[in-house]
Structure 1
């Protein structure tokens, strides 16, 4: 019964089904309420899938009585409390997906008793404590082990070496510390390793060298130091490498994955140099003789290492082939593994927002009204109350839950909770609770007169040139993450300044995913071809002025629609004019307005507030050079033909270089 519009609670009679029933799938519905205690009566059940509903409360301990259960999928609900240790009694369990709920407490060590587990996903919850050695010691795990987006601490247990058959290990966005244990070298089948956004330190370990099947490696946002190890260039299967925001230094390699600048991210490591020209790093200051000697040594090392690794690769392929045959058979009915919420009642929302009073009003959106609120625990939040009379509001609510509930990134607005039930009058009530952004939206900084501020106050809220560049990079980084780093590609669909919020430190957070679309993972080239293809009714509507032209002709949803919107937003940030201003008329849009002025009138269209940073002719030239470079990037994004638009990764690189150049010039001339 999956994929319908079934709503209401699970009736008690649900547990009176014939004891011969072996599989129940009611995923992707609108089921509310809690899991019945009498679930244990279905003792012959081998598969239970209730994914992506609105089920609340705890998982009953009685679930441990389902001794024949092999698959349990409860992802994408609002289950809370601790994960019951009784699940460890289900020793026949092969697939367990409890991700994207509100589970708290520790990971139960009893899960280590499930010796047949091939897939375990506990990501996107509020779990604390250390990673149990019993979990990483499960040698049966072969599909995925994901504990991402929790609050786990401590070090990675040495028992990680037991995961000899595992294809994907994701421990990202936790508080893990220490060194990566050398035992990870035994995970020879590993294809995807994500350790980003933790506090691992030390050098990138040589223990990763034997992992010849690695296709994705993300060590970004940690405290790794030292040089980039040479073996990373020898991982022939590596297609994505992210080492950004560490403390790495020295020369960047020029082989393997490092030959393709779009496959490597090394931002935030200020001591790196060299590499292929596409990385745009400064040249290394080393004698030419040493460079020649180093090159010869590298060639010898690569040749010798390749012969040795070829033998290892053949062995790994043989092992992998056998395991994949077994995994395919076992996972033919597997659950998908892909989302953390606070438990908030309607009464608490009323108290937090002063009964949704006008004094707490932050703003109004397409499908709802946003209020500032302070929860009982003292946390300040932004609460978006859906206007369910507005057509499309319910669909918008589901879209935001499906997207923001499954992802987390430092440049995306974080959803803290959702509420979907009734108010005190029995009317349907839906609300989304987000982190509160103290500096409001980018719209209110670019166009301060629109929110009733006088000129003096508006002037004080001006965003400086370098700050605008940082915000532009933040937005681009968020969109790149949605397009390239999620389990499924996500198209935002409504990128504009009012949907970009700024936190206390003026870090940009992209929000409002009411029009977002989750599309299947496709290559960049396939996306481009698809975008030129037939029309579909699922085209993103977006906002006038920011919607890509092909959507108006009915073309399919694609990441290139977001690319166009970002280009328009980028141009708007530096000329201070909306794309819908009457000055453009019917025959001119923002892209053409900037393109026509770029050759000889670029300075005439710059946001006048940016000129306040220039005190002399030299400073004016510096500002001019910077903004013309930004205009070129914005124009490359907003080309009429989707095939002509710049890639988001390349744009981040260009904007980063422009920012670094501007910051250097700013320090030099005392801006």
Structure 2
């Protein structure tokens, strides 16, 4: 026991020393340069026979390898992660020592002159994620042990001289990849000399988006597992290419039937993918075309095969289809049955169906293809006339109707004007058209003698003149009737009266059938004799008489306002025109000017008259516009006159008390309801709608017509930003002013004189913005 205790300090010191040595050892291992990676790179350089750009000059013993060009290493451990030698003109072979770059993620040697074979040692790089070897001179088979690269996501081997077949177990990458959570999504093998059949195992690559195997010598049937054919592959029905975006197998020797369940790839539409391609051109596929198609399909090419029968395809949902090629097959049937739903393909620009056995007539549904640019229906068996609807296609640049059995009059409008864009060779029974087509004139089969023809022409002219006379007479009678109505055209109306447009003056006739009409007439006369302002409608005279029915007639005659009421400009009819034939639209500056005019009038009534006058209906229909678009307030039928009491600090009204300030008399003063009352559920009112939009979404609630007006065409970018800033600032000020005038508490409403100041400020800013254009 004593001996053990004496050795305790020595044992403790030894433990500490051992721990320090371990830490130093691991520190050296972590931060020391990786000599194995350096030697592998030098061995790679040794196999290079030509380096025209000096890309590998820095690869020497004088500098650290993690500082070499085209090499990317982990910053902490200095391990090579990426080797990027794209487009460096390098010649030589790929060194088998590349296997020593054990943690390499990306190997990119595209567009060089590497020859010989792809070393099998590449398959030992288990961390490899991308291999780019396109556009080289490699001549060998695809190494089978590339299956060892379990993390592989991208494999590009296109446009080389590779031979042999596609590895049969390529699809087994799916199992390893699924464990690592990184699905392979693209295989590019186009432009090689690959032969053999396409492996069934491709159907296991569940996340594959692109198969580019075109321009090879592949043969055999296309594996059904690729198209998610659960009836064929029951074991692997959950391991098929439902994510496939692009399938390109053109220029091979593939044969057999196109699987009817090809439409199972339509799940891709759930991701709204816009680059879907289906191309099986230049193969030996045969049989009918019966399958649904993914609704997100853009390009469908079934040309140059041995397809036969009727095109039984679900095309009604192909809204994004841009090009459809089925040329040089043995398809037959009536074109009407083949293209019955083609009119739903709004985006279709190219339709090629030449060199088939279609017959019948061209369906009317083709008229919906407003974006079509090319139609080729040549070398078929049509027996019909050319439909006139083809003239209406304004974007049609090429129309080929050659070598048909058509007997028709060639139209002269649209694409038929251009002899270089319309092809009608081989149709001996064509006639008419423009002179450039050099076709014979059309002769009527039912033509008779010249005298009969003249008689028909004379009768047609007489009936035509008679019809024209009747139409003119009818229009004249309608004009007379309309002329009478124009002497009494309604311009505006209120609860007690209506404003009528006479030739020179406007007549405000009071509806005396209402019990309070006489009171309204007296109130308006009382108000109008007290006021005189440039923005208040001028009264010419007063009328009190008996009308043609014997009823009492009372009216006020105003000065005529040529542009009608503001209501007609803010809410015009579907196709309104003013006297000059222009559409009724108000610009932002016009709206501001009219608002200032109305504000001046209300400020005058509230603050500058002997007795305060409250206009109880300041709505757009009671604001009239003269020839210069100056706003004038009229219709004082519901006016309230406030008499100031000298003995009491409170004001009294002529009839009922008004609640709220006299700077703004809102509708709640008379209806006892406000925009914030319970009748507006969940606080859904204009005030809260605007308040919620400020300050971030003010442009979203603005009339798009005003936003388009605010767009500047200034050549200076600074002027453009400054003008847009001023425009947005003015809109925000307008919204804030409106909010201040519509708060729930009437006592907090902004006074009308302050509103006028705000509007003046906005108009000045808009004037400054207009100078920046």
TM-score range, shorter chain: 0.3 to 0.5
If you compute each CA radius of gyration, which structure gives the higher value, 1 or 2?
2
Relative contact order, higher structure (CA 8 A, sep 6+): 1
Q: Normalization by structure 1: what TM-score? A: 0.42
